[in-house]
Structure 1
Amino acid sequence: MPNQGLSVNLATVRQQWNLGEAVAACARHGIRAVDPWRDQVAGYGLADSAKVIRDHGMTVTGYCRGGMFPSADRDGRLAAIDDNRRALDEAATLGAQCLVLVVGGLPPGSRDLAGAREMVAEGMAAVLPHARAVGVPLAIEPLHPMYAGDRACVNTLGQALDLCDRLGPDVGVAIDAYHVWWDPDLAAQIARAGRDKRILAYHICDWLVPTRDLLLDRGMMGDGVIDLPAIGQMIENAGYAGFHEVEIFSAENWWKRPGDEVLATCLERFATVC
């Protein structure tokens, strides 16, 4: 895939630049798509963020993140629903193709994983009419099972697609290679997602061995053990023709390097590895 198929999730350079600087840097490197995070937009200002993205002709492949629906009490669940509606409004202002959902884990003190998953389904159902009204679909991102307790109780692509089936139109999945590469049912579930036209985003990075930090030690494509060409072929065979979005959290490596070096490496690895 040519370089114009690359999107950069702005978390990848969050330590080097603010949102405006990151968008301008992507444009300098010929990268035509980005995915900003809510805290980056809040720090730069929503109107200014939309303007700099528009002025540089960027496609916004997603907006990170909504979700975090489970809570120990009703007030907390209602607050999460309200926050997701605000996130959808922001995503619409930015022209985002989807709102990426990290759905949330167990409420403090809970061991009821099934109950947390039901809270996710109920929360998504509550915000879905607003998503439809503003024209921003919801993209469930299943996270690796190591995050089931605190970040995401939806952990496989199959679980995410079951939730899509339950909720209906305008709900899909963000497939992140980092989180799903290990799944023995991955090929079948990617094919299923393609048949149902549920693939809204595809995120890439690599799994390092050893991994020094389970959140903040993602690898650059080609530096780890994920068979990215194979997964990319599955995604393509499923009919997905959108951007491949690099999303790297790397506190001790890539976040410490010059941003221009990071973007240049993303482009080089995208062309040679993915």
Structure 2
Amino acid sequence: MTTEWTMDTARLSLNQITLNTLGLPEVVEICERHGIGSLAVWRDKVAAVGLDRAAALVRSAGLHVSSVCRGGMFTDPTVDVREENRRAVEEAAALGADCLVLVCGPLLDHDLAAARGRVHDGIADLLPHARAAGVRLAVEPLHPMMISRRSVVNTLAQALDLSDALDGEVGVVVDAYHVWWDPELDAQVARAGRRVLGYHVSDWLPGTADLLLDRGMMGDGLIDLPRVSRLVADAGYTGPVEVEILSTRWWAEDPDDVTRTLRKRFEEFV
């Protein structure tokens, strides 16, 4: 792995899922103790304390909210998710988030084209509400292993095609864990340009034990993170860089130790 180029550590954002055993008040305290200025918030953690208190917590700590996770889940034709997604937009607005991350929904039958069509229609329906609230929507393509569990949008090219079909109003999240393998990564990040609304980092472990909950700490795996970071920077993205590690191993560690480790690894490998 090459490490001759690294990201400015002032851009580090702690994605709340990395310290999943903690509630929002405790994660805010962690950010304050470790000098982290940005936080990515998950909606279940907001719900646990209430939106008003959540907004007050991040404001009083002077934290920048890099994203709210998540909206989406458009693919089930039997479920109306419109009101839930509108609430997600309102939460992102109240928290002053850079974007609302959209995880688009899994494939539930054999009709992949129809599922992706429902994603398009769901986002098109949500856009006017997001526009009125001043919230940017960002589609996060997920690795193909997630197609039956989380999302039928699996490459940056697919996410950008979706954005193009919606007049470029929808942005994308580049999550290194999900896109590092893509042979079109260079071209598609460049194509995204200013539509990159978020950048997430972790690592892909050799011998991954769980497709969802065994992400690696930066530097422990196979991803050339400095290279991906250069691509994102060259595309014009200058915003926060979220450390997002879904890992039962790291969740079992002391949260302060995890935070110290991720700060050090961010300096070395991102």
Equivalent residue for 2:222?
225
Alpha-carbon distance in structure 2 between the residues aligned to 1:72 and 1:239: 37
Alpha-carbon distance in structure 1 between the residues aligned to 2:104 and 2:132: 21
Equivalent residue for 1:238?
235
The superposition leaves residues 153-186 of structure 1 with CA deviations (integer Å, 9 ceiling, x where unpaired) of 0000000000001112431001100000000000
Alpha-carbon distance in structure 1 between the residues aligned to 2:231 and 2:180: 12
RMSD of aligned residue pairs (Cα, Å): 0.8
- Aligned residues with identical type, % of pairs: 54
For normalisation by structure 2, the TM-score amounts to 0.96
Equivalent residue for 1:8?
14
Equivalent residue for 2:75?
70
Give yes or no for the alignment of 1:181 onto 2:187. Answer: no
Alpha-carbon distance in structure 2 between the residues aligned to 1:177 and 1:24: 27
Q: Name which of 196, 200, 203 aligns with 1:199.
A: 196
Q: Which amino acid aligns with 2:32?
A: A
Matches within 5 A, 1:154-165: 154-165=153-164
Q: Name which of 50, 64, 84 aligns with 1:45.
A: 50
Alpha-carbon distance in structure 1 between the residues aligned to 2:179 and 2:86: 27
Alpha-carbon distance in structure 2 between the residues aligned to 1:90 and 1:30: 25
SS where residue 76 of structure 2 aligns?
coil
Are the aligned partners of 1:60 and 1:97 in contact in 2 as well (CA < 8 Å)? yes
Q: Name which of 252, 255, 258 aligns with 2:254.
A: 258
Are the aligned partners of 1:132 and 1:170 in contact in 2 as well (CA < 8 Å)? no
Equivalent residue for 1:147?
146
* Consecutive aligned runs of 4 or more in structure 1 exceeding 6 Å deviation: none
Are the aligned partners of 1:34 and 1:59 in contact in 2 as well (CA < 8 Å)? yes
Equivalent residue for 1:94?
95
The number of aligned residues is: 264
Q: Which amino acid aligns with 2:241?
A: H
Are the aligned partners of 1:3 and 1:31 in contact in 2 as well (CA < 8 Å)? no
Alpha-carbon distance in structure 1 between the residues aligned to 2:169 and 2:130: 8
Q: Name which of 206, 212, 216 aligns with 2:213.
A: 216
Equivalent residue for 1:135?
134
Alpha-carbon distance in structure 2 between the residues aligned to 1:259 and 1:174: 26
Task: Give 1:37 shift.
Answer: 0.5
Equivalent residue for 1:34?
39
Give yes or no for the alignment of 1:268 onto 2:264. Answer: yes
Equivalent residue for 2:66?
61
User: Structure 2: any 5+ residue segments left out of the alignment?
Assistant: 1-6
Are the aligned partners of 1:174 and 1:199 in contact in 2 as well (CA < 8 Å)? yes
Alpha-carbon distance in structure 2 between the residues aligned to 1:144 and 1:198: 20
Alpha-carbon distance in structure 1 between the residues aligned to 2:192 and 2:9: 25
Q: Which amino acid aligns with 2:20?
A: R
User: Structure 1: any 5+ residue segments left out of the alignment?
Assistant: none
Alpha-carbon distance in structure 1 between the residues aligned to 2:64 and 2:169: 19
SS where residue 133 of structure 1 aligns?
helix
Alpha-carbon distance in structure 2 between the residues aligned to 1:54 and 1:35: 14
Higher-RCO chain (CA-CA 8 Å, sequence separation at least 6):
2
Task: Give 1:44 shift.
Answer: 1.5
Task: Give 1:81 shift.
Answer: 1.6
Equivalent residue for 2:3?
none
